[in-house]
Amino acid sequence: MHAFVSPTPDATPVWLVSPDNWEGVKTSIDAAATAFAERCGFKPKAGRIQLLPGEGGTLAGALFGVDGESAPTRDPFAAGKLATSLPEGVYRFANAPHDADLAALGFLLALYRYNRFKSDSAPKPRLVAPDGVDRDRLERIAAAVAFGRDLVNAPANVLGPRALEQEAVKLAEQFDASVSMVRGEELLGANFPLIHAVGRAAGEEPRIVDFSWGREDAPKVALIGKGVTFDTGGLDIKPASGMELMKKDMGGAATALTLARLVMQEGLDLRLRVVIPIVENAISAPAMRPGDVLISRKGLSVEVGNTDAEGRLILADALALADEEAPELMLDFATLTGAARVALGPDLPPFYTDDEALAGSIGAHAARVRDPLWRLPLWRPYEAMIEGTVGDISNSGSGGGMAGSITAALFLRRFVDKAKAWAHFDVYAWNPKPRAHGPAGGEIQAARALFELLTERYPRR
């Protein structure tokens, strides 16, 4: 599914047609085909697909409408629509896409389906990799994204804390990383009190997975991901509508693991550390309560204003751990707040950093590979909103939900000290509707952008 086919002489040509080149394309397809397309009402508009009949019931080719040079809404992944619309067969682009890499990647990403419980036997179109693209690299990216989407799509009854740990360990072992984990009561002895407090009410024990990979003296890069396999909200229970999608609350962990896989399979020259705190935020007698005060790994006392703000609690201990070895770069990913999606919608995750150079670089790489990210501020005056009444800080704050994604980021910042640079990504990890580059359901955001950034900074030796 994540692969191109090798060039064959009989691959069906697909012409990418915009208002700018339609007249030119007409001269390269035969007159009968042009007449047929026009009789069918084909217009060179983005997203239109027109099949061209050949002799004896065959398919001579297809026209695919794309935006012209001047269109502000140009979707570089639009070609993904071909993967879900064309009949089974082998296709090639007859003229060069505006961005061949993204068009080809869009096609592979669009073929993805979560098929663990529902087989998708519909025959699929296949694409000959366009000229000039690094075919193997694109296939590796598509496979890594599919791996991450599978994790997000897996329901919480099959991907609980134990299974998510196993997935992380399996990935680490595939690349000969050294991996360790701490579970259940041992979290207290190993000083992860917040991870324990959030996860102790669940049927499967809370845990932390920690793996390291790469040349030991290479620059240190740490990835941290929120691994809440299901978020009921805890005692501050969510309403049904708010709980519906909460199997995706390990989307940050899936993002961190996807990025880790990209880094390892590419062999980038860095010392990678991946820290995944894993819990189910459940309800039973030992559940943490609103008003509880917890002493974190770092020593800060944290007041539980709301048991539904569990992500920042487990991340606090995980960030503190990764921070202890003063990495050059620390990146965390989390489906942390509903407020992020209210501010920017599902497709544009906000990110936070105090490092201006890093912010610029993240923005540039995100734009280049069309994995959009938008910087929001670590707005210091709002620190007042996370002050605790009896503890140092509160996990819910006093803002009444105002600036919720910002106050969550400010909370995390308190646990980062020694890292030379840190950025936090409040991802949604979900497509509410099908996109050109993938179906509705689990999505991996920010990983491709950061893979570009890391590839530029730490190229393989």
- Which positions are annotated as active-site residues? 238, 312
Interface of this chain with Zn ion, residues 387 to 446, rule: CB under 5 A: none
Nearer to ligand BES, 210 or 426 (CB): 426
Q: How many angstroms separate the CA atoms of 250 and 246, rounded?
A: 9
User: 45 in the Ramachandran plot: left (φ > 0), alpha (ψ -120 to 50) or beta?
Assistant: beta
**Interaction residues for ligand BES, span 287-326 (CB under 6 A):** 306, 308-311
| Nearest approach, Cβ of residue 286 and ligand BES (Å) | 19
Radius of gyration of the chain (CA): 24
- HSE-CB at 329 with a 13 A cutoff on CA atoms is 20
Q: Are 246 and 226 in contact (CB under 8 A)?
A: no
Please say which residue, 148 or 214, places its beta carbon nearer to Zn ion: 148
Cβ contacts of residue 119 below 8 Å, gap of 6+?
none
Residue that the structure tokens 């599919």 belong to: 146
Q: Which of 296, 361, 394, 396 binds ligand BES (CB under 6 A)?
A: 396
DSSP, residue by residue, 42-73: ----TT-EEEEE-GGG-EEEEEEE---TT-TT
For residue 18, state whether it binds ligand BES (rule: CB under 6 A). Answer: no
x/- contact string, 298-317, with Zn ion (CB under 5 A)? ----------x-xx------
Kindly report the number of other CB atoms within 10 A of residue 158's CB atom.
11
How is residue 180 written in tokens?
């360790």
Q: Which does 112 bind (CB under 5 to 8 A by kind): Zn ion, ligand BES, none?
A: none
CA pair distance 101, 95, nearest whole angstrom: 14
Question: What is the footprint of ligand BES within residues 319-358 (CB under 6 A)?
Answer: 335-339, 341
Q: Which is nearer to ligand BES, 204 or 249 (CB)?
A: 249
Return the residue matching tokens 């580059």. 437
332 lies in the binding site for Zn ion (CB under 5 A): no
Q: How many CB atoms lie within 10 A of CB 313?
A: 26
Of these partners, Zn ion, ligand BES, none, which one is at the site of residue 280 (CB under 5 to 8 Å by kind)? none
Taking residue 337's Cβ as centre, other Cβ atoms within 10 Å add up to 22
Could you say whether residue 160 binds ligand BES (CB under 6 A)?
no
| Near Zn ion by CB under 5 A: residue from 101, 165, 249, 426 | 249
Cβ 316 to ligand BES shortest distance, Å: 13
Contacts with ligand BES by CB under 6 A lie at: 231, 249, 306, 308-311, 335-339, 341, 396, 404, 428
Contacts with Zn ion by CB under 5 A lie at: 228, 231, 249, 308, 310-311
